[in-house]
Structure 1
Amino acid sequence: MTVPREKPQGDAEVGFHTSGHTGKPTLWLRTHDQLRTEAQMIGDVIIGTVDRVVTFAPAEHLFGRLFGDVLPRLRGIPVQDLHTDPTQAPDLIKTARTLLVCLPSTWAVLQRMIPRLRELPGTVALHGTGPVTPAAARVVSQLRGSGFRAVELFGSTESGGIAYREMSTDPAQARPWRLLPDVRLVTDGPASELQTLHVRSPRLARPANAPTPPPSLRLPDLIRPVDARHFDHVGRSTGLVKVNGRRCDIDAVAADASRVLGTEVACLAMRDPLRGEHYELYYDDLAGTLTDETVWHRLPGALAGRPVPRTLHAVPGIPRTATGKLKLDQLHAATAQRSAVRA
């Protein structure tokens, strides 16, 4: 456990890498004032008073930097940093109000600690890196009525925090997202119609190849505005998934893997009970020249540090429509048929 001290500011900006819309690493720069403003605002609006922080998120990512480093420094409170071993159970102090900075996989750890969490005078679990997992829903449900609160934070490396809501155990009953005080929606049509998420904020990051931050930012998310300060999130407009907080463009993975493997590849996003989201990779092995072992061996050259797929599937061709869209029913049928033959 450490008590953070103010670090020398050094450079005027701090860099954070993201996969961006193309899947290639992109550097986005934020000022120290932006980091402090965001940590302080979310601390005041969402988190409230806490005595200590337990973080499972690495500080090289914006989420982990804000709440595992900047906020504790502003408040002079101790931090237990578990990002190098995110399956480790945190130290819980019965008298301490605690902020838990969570990855999707964190909830499997917290599920084993429900009796101890119930004893704390107040706990805030901040979830900012993907969909609510079944383990998260179980924790929230079993701790209902105690001093435990779970809050989802919506945002990105480029935008910083955008919106928040109390975590719901039933996705069908989830509340709309509420914008943070300094964020504004840019609506591109009638307020209730489906549109891409387009925001203005003084905390937008600066692309490393640009002299200033953009005046507004359009994200690869589809929303339906409820009113000027609330929206429902419908889904992503691209092939981006977050695997335990790491953003991955699976369309880019498919293109790079096709080149490396010398055959057509498709990737499908999947819900994952531990990591929130994941993806599976399908490769055309109609010629019978590839094996899963060969594909696993060659994949690192295509992934370039991106998360590996959860599962591989060899199929006799990647079925597509005339416009190039995947025929999911035929893809799943081909997978099932191959599995049956192997069995």
Structure 2
Amino acid sequence: MTETVARTAQGPVGGREEIRLDTSGSTGAARPWFRLPHQMEREVELIGAHLVGPVDRVINYAPPHHLFGALFGQWLPRLADVPVHQAWTDPFEPPSVSRGERVLVVCIPMAWELLRRAWPALEGAHSIVALHSSATPPHAAHELVRRAAPLLRAHEILGSTETGGIGHRPLAPVGSGTDPWRAFPDVTFVRPADAPAGGAEELVIRGPRLARPEHGSRPPAQWATGDLVEFTAPRAFRLIGRSGSLIKVNGIKVHLARVDEQLNSRLPRAECVALPLPDDSLAGEGYAVFWSCPKKGVGVADIRAALRDFPSPSRIVELADVPRTPTGKPDRKALLATL
């Protein structure tokens, strides 16, 4: 979900108290959006019923001034009347659970390695459900899901500040990034009547959890997410990429989300991010791959080999670490500043 700053604000909608959420990812200026308490409650109840089930304790690694952390690190514990360990305040303090407890863990990418290290302290739980949002799960997430099943089951949530949760899928033991997303039941799709089967189209949705923009008196009737998808069933789709991540390199279309998928699948030990370079003077449009591999064993030749099915990147940039926003998304501005 989009990085957000949450605070209660009095909005102009009939004097009802609203929750202000400012989008502030790695690009663009922050813009405020407003949600009503019943929308927050509805989202917690919906995702709780579909993915989580009964909970006795919450371990929250997502800062509650972001939407994901606010929903599952504040609203869910309050509605369910269960204790919450705000692990985001001191991520390196090992969490603890009582034997037989049903535990929800709210994860952003950095949480998975910490959770893996702390796992012996959690093995006495009755069950552990992990929710992941805001960025692609790291290799440690897939490794822990593979090792800790069936005690642990995990789900990815696709959504944004503007929309709330749109869809979900199980977090698989092997990270392919190509598994389809299934829409939550109160989300409907707005599609052209002549949309070709199997073709790419922008994901446009309607639903009761859309947020109100700063200069509107009510939420929009529908929202264009900017995501390009391929529908695999009436309620399921695969993400192809962002509408802005489709480029042409020497006349060949390249979806950078698929470049990321290929790299993460073939080089699971490395962190890789592909970004467009529209000013490439040779290819017209091009892209750069930024990568980091703390454990070594991966080099530029491996990246080029992993991308043999794609036009070659214009730049391959090795970094000590991939810079990320507080919610774990690659920091686009910081990455491009390294060029």
Partners of 1:281 and 1:84 in 2: CA distance = 35
Pair 1:196 & 2:202 matched: yes
User: Residue 247 of structure 1 aligns with which residue?
Assistant: none
Compared CA separation, residues 274 and 164, structure 1 to 2 (3 A): farther
User: Residue 45 of structure 1 aligns with which residue?
Assistant: 50
Percent identity, please: 35
Compared CA separation, residues 68 and 196, structure 1 to 2 (3 A): same
User: Which amino acid is 1:36 matched to?
Assistant: E
User: Residue 191 of structure 2 aligns with which residue?
Assistant: 187
2:153 pairs, out of 146, 149, 163, with 149
SS in 2 for 1:106: helix
Pair 1:97 & 2:102 matched: yes
Please say if residues 276 and 286 of structure 2, whose CA atoms lie closer than 8 Å, have aligned partners that are also in contact.
no
TM norm structure 2: 0.69
Partners of 1:280 and 1:327 in 2: CA distance = 5
Compared CA separation, residues 332 and 207, structure 1 to 2 (3 A): same
User: Which amino acid is 1:29 matched to?
Assistant: F
- Pairing of 1:288-307 with structure 2 (within 5 A): none
More off after superposition, 325-334 vs 102-111 = 325-334
SS in 1 for 2:109: coil
- Deviation of 1:325 (Å): 1.9
Partners of 1:21 and 1:209 in 2: CA distance = 23
SS in 2 for 1:172: coil
Please say if residues 35 and 211 of structure 2, whose CA atoms lie closer than 8 Å, have aligned partners that are also in contact.
yes
User: Residue 303 of structure 1 aligns with which residue?
Assistant: none
- Deviation of 1:280 (Å): 8.5
Number of residues of Structure 1 aligned to a counterpart in Structure 2: 266
Larger-gyration structure (1/2): 1
Partners of 2:207 and 2:271 in 1: CA distance = 27
Unpaired segments of 5 or more residues in structure 1? 1-7, 240-267, 283-317, 337-343
Partners of 2:273 and 2:166 in 1: CA distance = 23
Partners of 2:84 and 2:24 in 1: CA distance = 28
- Deviation of 1:175 (Å): 3.4
Partners of 1:44 and 1:333 in 2: CA distance = 44
- Pairing of 1:218-229 with structure 2 (within 5 A): 218-229=224-235
Please say if residues 59 and 95 of structure 2, whose CA atoms lie closer than 8 Å, have aligned partners that are also in contact.
yes
User: Residue 118 of structure 2 aligns with which residue?
Assistant: 113
User: Which amino acid is 2:34 matched to?
Assistant: L
SS in 1 for 2:123: helix
Unpaired segments of 5 or more residues in structure 2? 1-7, 11-15, 246-259, 289-311, 320-339
- Deviation of 1:87 (Å): 3.5
- Deviation of 1:197 (Å): 1.3
Cα displacement string for residues 16-43 of structure 1 (whole angstroms, at most 9, x for unaligned residues): 1113796110111101110011111111
Compared CA separation, residues 28 and 97, structure 1 to 2 (3 A): same
TM norm structure 1: 0.68
